[in-house]
Amino acid sequence: MDKRRLTRILARADEKAVASLAASYREAHQPLVIKEPEKTLAMIKMREPVKQSLFYIGEVIVYEAVVEISGTHGVAACMCSGKESDALKVLNMAIIDAALNKGVFAEMHALLELERQQDDQLMKENALHLRTMVSFESLDQQAPSDLNAFKGGAK
């Protein structure tokens, strides 16, 4: 699993789900915390749609942490809500990353199930938004007949 997908799944998950995934690796592998979870600023990069050039739109507060399991590092950074429980969530995310990097992470089915649940929830939310979408009809379809009526009336 690539890092972007892993981070997206874990960042969307609640603290309890991430903690349950990391619990067995906390106990069995005794991860060494290299960098305690702390708040920091990260720049948000965006692509300008016309020229496709990159620019920085601003800064956001994130939590980041680094751990080590038997010589293998795990890193996590997450834009969170600012609660103190977010620090523990990021630490658990780093433990899961280290377990994946080490090759000892055996809970892939639980991670994929969590992703499926998140996708289902997102589809439900999108369906709710689609019900409120307004359908606009184009006036171009009526313009030629209106235009001809206007021209005919001017003669």
Mean pLDDT, residues 78-98: 89
Q: pLDDT per residue over 37-81, tens digit each?
A: 999 999 999 999 899 999 999 999 999 999 999 999 999 999 877
Candidates 115, 95, 84; CA nearest to 19 is: 95
**150, part of any domain:** no
Domain that holds residue 106: 3-124
Provide CB contacts within 8 A for 43, sequence distance 6+. 56, 58, 59
**146, part of any domain:** no
Q: What domain count does the chain have?
A: 1
Hey, CA dihedral for 22, 27, 28, 33, is it positive or negative?
A: positive
Q: pLDDT per residue over 9-34, tens digit each?
A: 999 999 999 999 999 999 889 999 99
**147, part of any domain:** no
**149, part of any domain:** no
**57, part of any domain:** yes
Q: Are 59 and 41 in contact (CB under 8 A)?
A: yes
Provide CB contacts within 8 A for 57, sequence distance 6+. 44, 45, 46
This prediction has a pTM of 0.77
Res. 1: pLDDT tops 90: no
Cα–Cα dist 1/110, whole Å = 13
Q: What is the CA radius of gyration of the chain?
A: 25
Output the CA–CA distances (angstroms, integers) from residue 44 to 1, 25, 58, 61, 78, in the order listed: 24, 32, 6, 10, 13
The pLDDT score that the predictor gives to residue 128 is: 87
